[in-house]
Amino acid sequence: MTVFIVKRLLGIAVTLMLIITVVFFLVRVAPGGPFDQDRQVPAEVIAALDAKYHLDDSLPQQYLDFMGDLVLRGDLGPCFKYPGRTVNELIAQSLPVSMQLGVLAMLLALAIGIPLGIIGATRQNSWVDTLAMSVSMVGLSIPRFVLAPLLVLVFGIGLYWLPVARWETWRHMVLPIFCAALPTAAYVARLTRGGMLEVIHSDFIRTARAKGLSESRVILRHALRGGLLPVVSFLGPGFSGLLVGSLVIERIFNIPGMGRYFVEAAQNRDYNIVMGITLVYGTLLMVLNAVVDLAYAWLDPRVKLEEP
């Protein structure tokens, strides 16, 4: 297993290098730089700023500088649009917020989706099942940016229960987390139901019943392990989807997370922020993927860990 981990980490490092390089050249090749966007600024000022940030160096030179800073000092460079701040600072501030949102939302999605899916599977075709699946279908069909204002209207403004912006107390977190979690919960419910259904009809479940085990023991001890495998596989792309969804959530609820900075930075051509955030997203997800693979191998003894 150590071999697996080491090989995986290496693979991740290589892929990240690749991604960084691609994005690096991508953003610089596109028209427009960080300082030409403001029409008020005269050309000499732009030139001076470009020179200060070495944006007038040749591309390969810029690349080497950037990679050098990154690898040797872990320095992602300065923010072009927020003078005086570095990308590292920005990320250090906003990443924990986004992670909180993401992790809590994922946990909530699992906590809602898995039981819902199990109930649907064990009471297949009953009214409970139909209700659960219809609700999850609705959850999948409403975009987060419709759900969010709706929830805000109902719970925030209408009922004065929960505040609707910023991120200070736990009360602030309820709506955004809920909003982020619901569509994912819907998907988890369907996955769980599908996985459980397939396991429930297999031979070894029949054996478990023939042994005289109670139904709850059959489901929880025997069926669940196999039935949840699709959900485990989904954790990787699921979390990735959550992060993407958080772009919307952070904007609507005015949460100072990474996502909010990302689109802005892209539109402002703030290269370093874009690179930094892309790097963080990429690392997060690839590490998560490796963990998921480990978890899957642990759950299903028939699976052998594959080296990347």
Which residues inside 161-200 make contact with other proteins, applying CB under 8 A? 194, 197-198
- Given 97, 189, 247, 255, the residue binding other proteins (CB under 8 A): 247
Asked if 145 is part of the footprint of other proteins (rule: CB under 8 A), the reply reads yes
What lies within 8 Å, CB to CB, of 141 at 6+ separation is none
Is residue 146 at the binding interface for other proteins, with CB under 8 A as the rule? yes
List binders of other proteins among 20-39 (CB under 8 A): 23, 26-27, 30-32
Residue selected from 103, 171, 201, 220 as contacting other proteins according to rule CB under 8 A: 201
Residue 256 in the binding site for other proteins (CB under 8 A)? no
Residue 300 DSSP symbol: -
The helix/strand count (H/E) of the chain reads as 13, 0
Which part of the chain contacts other proteins (CB under 8 A), choosing from 52-60, 91-99, 161-169, 275-283? Answer: 275-283
Beta bridge partners of 78: 86
The DSSP line for 277-301 is: HHHHHHHHHHHHHHHHHHHHHHH-T
Report if residue 143 touches other proteins, rule: CB under 8 A: yes
Among residues 240, 223, 253, the alpha carbon closest in space to that of 145 is found at: 253
Would you state the structure tokens that stand for residue 301, as one six-digit string? Answer: 């003894």
Among 65, 107, 206, 220, binds other proteins (CB under 8 A): 206
Q: d(Cα 45, Cα 31) in Å, to the nearest integer?
A: 19
126 touching other proteins, by CB under 8 A: no
| Number of Cα atoms under 13 Å in the Cβ half of residue 29 | 7
- Report in angstroms how near the CB of residue 136 gets to other proteins at its nearest: 10
243 binds other proteins (CB under 8 A): yes
Restricting to residues 209-228, name those near other proteins by CB under 8 A. 209-214, 217, 221-222, 225-226
Told to check if 125 binds other proteins by CB under 8 A, we report: yes
Closest contact distance (angstroms) between CB of 298 and other proteins is 10
The whole-angstrom separation of Cα 65 and Cα 295 is 39
Token pair recorded at residue 4? 């697996």
How many amino acids of this chain bind other proteins (CB under 8 A)? 72
86 SS3 class = strand
Q: Distance (Å, rounded) from C-alpha 233 to C-alpha 229? A: 6
Least Å from the CB of residue 177 to other proteins: 19
Q: Is 131 in the site for other proteins (CB under 8 A)?
A: no
Q: Hey, which residues between 41 and 70 contact other proteins (CB under 8 A)?
A: none
105-140 burial string, b = 16+ CB within 10 Å, else e? bbebbbebbbebbbbbbbeeeeeebeebbeebeebe
In whole angstroms, the minimum distance from the beta carbon of 29 to other proteins comes to 8
Question: For residue 86, what are the β-bridge partners?
Answer: 78
Residue 267 CB, shortest distance to other proteins, in Å, is 6
Report the 10 Å Cβ neighbour count for 12: 18
Q: Please pick, from the candidates 110, 219, 262, 272, the single residue that binds other proteins as defined by CB under 8 A.
A: 262
Shorter beta-carbon distance to other proteins: residue 97 or 247: 247
Q: Which is nearer to other proteins, 67 or 197 (CB)?
A: 197
